[in-house]
Structure 1
Amino acid sequence: MRPAAAAGGGGGGGRRKAAAAAAAACREWMVVPASGQARVEEAGKHAVMARTGLPARDLRVLDPLLSYPSTILGRERAIVVNLERVKAVITAAEVLLPNSKDPAFTNFVCDLQARVLASSSDQAAEFTDMDGESSAVASPFPVLTPSKGNGLEMANKNANAVGDMTHSSSMPTLTAAKDGNTKVLPFEFRALEVCLESACRSLEEETSTLEQEAYPALDELTSKISTLNLERVRQIKSRLVAISGRVQKVRDELEHLLDDEMDMAEMYLTEKLTQQEISETSSRVEVDEPSQLEDDRDEDYRSEADVSNGSFIGYKPHIEELEMLLEAYFVQIDGTLNKLSHLREYVDDTEDYINIMLDDKQNQLLQMGVMLSTATVVITAGVAVVGIFGMNIGISLYADPTNDEEKRASNMKFWETTLGTIAGCMIMYIVAMGWGKRTAAVAQSQIRRGARERGETGRRSEKEKKMVKVATFFAMTFGAFLFWQSMDKVHVWIALHQDEKKERMERELEIKRMQAELMAQAKESES
């Protein structure tokens, strides 16, 4: 079906624009009829609307350039299917698919042809085995009641109309064998089943692929925390969220259909077409009594009003076949969603485990910080001792020895003071660490006891961490101040010691000069 070219002499440019507009309006459709012989047709939007009875907003759902959620819409003459990559318009006689070069689309068309051909052969064999006996057609729509006088004639005409329509148009109906067990689904349900199967299989394959990649990556991350493993898990989590959303949309759509019986009844296209043919046949019957015709018109008008309003008072449609079909794929898609939920829980557990490991590393760093802070305080105490000895006061340790014994005693006192200071610092450090461990053990026992009482795990609060940081800062500041003071005292002591040494050397030189003068005077007197 091609739209007519624009007439008129608008020149070459006008014809080219008209041709471009016509090409844009037309679109390739893959048509799969009930016979299974697929063909490609070009049709515009209005032609498809006239062919299927769909409004323009329903056709926009099939546009690949637009993003629409998964949807299954039942209309008067067609079913619109938009499930993942499957986009189709299903009528009672054919399936219209937007043509595509995707390999997945080719596989879907092959599956659809195989399913339609297999069902058509099964239906033909079933009609042959029935030996001309009529089939019972279960319809969810009310049937017009013929008049009393022409009941037999109406029944014969209706049976002939149903038989002609069924065999000539190759549109199968719900048929039953003599025992009432074997049934063949209508064409629209077989096509819908292929669409559901393709969408569910695609999501199942993506879920399996994600599981095969996710579990080893998560296990590797728990054994070795690195930037590469974290990036892999981040990408896996993003894919998990996307696939879970798509699966959830398909599941919600199937659940919505299963909850609404009228929507499912609206999808029985073959039976609606059958009832339409029966109604058209019965409308041709002449009615003798005008009053009875008027009553039938009033009754038909009320029935149509009830159907249009969706009330169906006191009427329950026969939707068992479609309900069983949808329930089967609902269970399948629900299983896929459960797999994704388990994978999400595994990811969350892995994140919790990694957070615990990071908290442990953080606790180790805090412990090391406490140890270094304690060591700084202890060293500061030793520096304070050095500063005390560096004060400008008279200390017997600094007296110059006059003989070897005093020199040995002075050296011994120096080493005793130095080693005593170092030993005292070490003892202070050990005592401080022991006190800290005992305090931490007591705090942990109190936290565990409180956690058992409250039913929750206890963790170090942010306030305690800030207090530790502040105490460490003040300790380091005080230690730096003491170190600066001690170094200042050391510099003063060194300067004083150098001055004293210089004065002592000057005195010694003066004494030597005086001795030399005395010796010279003594020699002169002797001579």
Structure 2
Amino acid sequence: MEQRRQPQTAPAPRRKAAPVASQEWLVVPAAGEQRRGEFGRHRIMEMTGLPARDLRVLDPLLSYPSTILGRDRAIVVNLEHVKAIVTAAEVLVRDPGNPRLHPFLQELHARLALPDACTTNPASDDMELGDGQGNVPMPGSAKIQPFEFKVLEVCLEHTCKCMESETLALEKEAYPALDKLTSKVSTLNLEHVRQIKSRLVELSGRVQKVRDDIEQLVDDDTDMYEMYLTRKLAFQGVNESSVKVDSNKHASPDHENEKEEEDSGDDIESSHESSTYVKPDVEELEMLLEAYFVQFDGTLNKLCHVCHISFYSPLIH
């Protein structure tokens, strides 16, 4: 008996992996012309050394709360609508076409256009070359503000201004609304005050998140140390130069003594690095962060005062 042939079914077409969408970024270097372009996630990771999880913090679709993260080669800034990655040489601003970012970009360009107060080498931050040959960095020279701190200050200042502006606008709206409700109780007036109260609570939470994040940074010297990108880059260059000098100095064609000389070179390298490495003083960044902590704390106190009046008004319970 012939077996009936089963109809062949066509294999299901393979689904192509969805390409990673590129995002528009504005790249503003410490020196030179800015450029605008679309960069994929992997390209940004190559440029900044950041892992994918840190880039998700800047995704507006994921609604991450405000935060500032110090990493090995970059600082991740997510403050309200300001989403940026700061390195020692450039800042990458996400979604530069956003109208809310126009004032921030103007402030950033104005700040970076200002000449430095000192003429020291920006690559060496606040260190000078102590031996006259550029081999040993020494603390105590005249300071200039590192590029990453200039950008960070603009980010904090802009965010502070925006939140203060929102607070003042709510203040101007809240007190007349409460007076109106007191003089005439109505459903319309009551609903207006409740809406204002809801906005006050929401804004208070955002301001407190930024304030608490700054406080957490100030309380941790290690986190602040991670944000000294320019200085870390300078130390890296000095140590690499030291390794090359030591390896050339101790190279020998005598193979019998090769192992002994390698060990000696390692000891010298280790000794040299330990003697030239100076842990950066975090006082400069600490003072910067504390100044803005005070400002955000003052804004939060204003909001709490208005919230207190609204919450304890007997007419809206």
* TM bin (shorter chain): 0.7 to 0.9
Letter of the structure 2 residue corresponding to residue 206 of structure 1: E
Distance 2:125 2:111 in 1: 24
Which runs of structure 2 are paired with 1:31-46 in the superposition (5 Å)?
31-35=27-31, 37-46=33-42
CA shift for structure 1 position 122: 2.9
- How has the CA–CA distance of structure 1 residues 67 and 242 changed in structure 2, closer, same or farther, with 3 Å as cutoff? same
2:267 counterpart of 1:295: yes
2:158 counterpart of 1:158: no
Aligned to 1:4: none
Distance 1:211 1:60 in 2: 34
CA shift for structure 1 position 295: 2.5
2:102 counterpart of 1:106: yes
2:86 counterpart of 1:65: no
CA deviation map 1:122-145 (0-9, x unaligned): 35xx32xx8x9xx88349xxxxxx
Distance 2:134 2:60 in 1: 46
2:199 counterpart of 1:239: yes
Out of 35, 42, 49, which is 2:45 matched to? 49
- How has the CA–CA distance of structure 1 residues 271 and 44 changed in structure 2, closer, same or farther, with 3 Å as cutoff? same
Are the aligned partners of 2:82 and 2:155 in contact in 1 as well (CA < 8 Å)? yes
Aligned to 2:144: 184
CA deviation map 1:284-307 (0-9, x unaligned): 013445443232466689x7xxxx
CA deviation map 1:482-501 (0-9, x unaligned): xxxxxxxxxxxxxxxxxxxx
Letter of the structure 1 residue corresponding to residue 22 of structure 2: C
SS in 2 for 1:97: strand
Aligned to 1:496: none
Are the aligned partners of 1:115 and 1:190 in contact in 2 as well (CA < 8 Å)? yes
Are the aligned partners of 1:136 and 1:176 in contact in 2 as well (CA < 8 Å)? no
CA shift for structure 1 position 107: 1.7
Which runs of structure 2 are paired with 1:325-474 in the superposition (5 Å)?
325-351=288-314, 354=315
Are the aligned partners of 2:160 and 2:296 in contact in 1 as well (CA < 8 Å)? yes
Are the aligned partners of 2:125 and 2:146 in contact in 1 as well (CA < 8 Å)? no
TM-score, normalised relative to structure 2:
0.81
Letter of the structure 1 residue corresponding to residue 203 of structure 2: I
Distance 1:99 1:283 in 2: 42
- How has the CA–CA distance of structure 1 residues 136 and 316 changed in structure 2, closer, same or farther, with 3 Å as cutoff? closer
Out of 274, 283, 286, which is 1:323 matched to? 286
CA shift for structure 1 position 38: 2.7
Count of matched residue pairs: 288
Aligned to 1:137: 126
SS in 2 for 1:82: strand
SS in 1 for 2:178: helix
Distance 2:109 2:291 in 1: 22
Unaligned runs of 5+ in 2: 1-13, 251-260
SS in 2 for 1:255: helix
CA shift for structure 1 position 334: 0.2
Are the aligned partners of 1:175 and 1:184 in contact in 2 as well (CA < 8 Å)? no
Unaligned runs of 5+ in 1: 1-13, 140-150, 163-173, 178-182, 304-311, 359-527
2:267 counterpart of 1:267: no
Larger Rg belongs to: 1
Are the aligned partners of 1:176 and 1:184 in contact in 2 as well (CA < 8 Å)? no
Distance 1:136 1:86 in 2: 26
TM-score, normalised relative to structure 1:
0.50
More helix by share: 1
- How has the CA–CA distance of structure 1 residues 26 and 244 changed in structure 2, closer, same or farther, with 3 Å as cutoff? same
SS in 1 for 2:65: coil
More strand by share: 2
- How has the CA–CA distance of structure 1 residues 43 and 300 changed in structure 2, closer, same or farther, with 3 Å as cutoff? farther
SS in 2 for 1:96: strand
Are the aligned partners of 2:27 and 2:91 in contact in 1 as well (CA < 8 Å)? yes
CA shift for structure 1 position 278: 0.3
CA shift for structure 1 position 175: 9.0
Distance 1:60 1:244 in 2: 24
Aligned to 1:195: 155
Distance 2:198 2:168 in 1: 16
CA shift for structure 1 position 201: 0.8
Letter of the structure 2 residue corresponding to residue 324 of structure 1: M
Aligned to 1:282: 242
Letter of the structure 1 residue corresponding to residue 30 of structure 2: A
SS in 1 for 2:151: helix
CA shift for structure 1 position 103: 1.7
Aligned to 1:81: 77
Distance 1:333 1:326 in 2: 11
Distance 1:195 1:73 in 2: 13
Distance 1:233 1:252 in 2: 28
Q: Higher relative CO (CA 8 A, sep ≥ 6), structure 1 or 2?
A: 2
Distance 1:341 1:37 in 2: 44
Are the aligned partners of 1:89 and 1:97 in contact in 2 as well (CA < 8 Å)? yes
Distance 2:272 2:191 in 1: 67
2:116 counterpart of 1:122: yes
CA shift for structure 1 position 25: 2.9
Aligned to 2:86: 90
Letter of the structure 1 residue corresponding to residue 92 of structure 2: L
Out of 14, 27, 34, which is 2:23 matched to? 27
Out of 211, 216, 219, which is 2:171 matched to? 211
Distance 1:64 1:136 in 2: 34
Identity over aligned pairs, percent: 56
Distance 1:104 1:36 in 2: 25
Distance 1:45 1:343 in 2: 43
- How has the CA–CA distance of structure 1 residues 241 and 36 changed in structure 2, closer, same or farther, with 3 Å as cutoff? farther
Are the aligned partners of 2:30 and 2:90 in contact in 1 as well (CA < 8 Å)? yes
Out of 212, 226, 251, which is 1:252 matched to? 212
Distance 1:231 1:250 in 2: 29
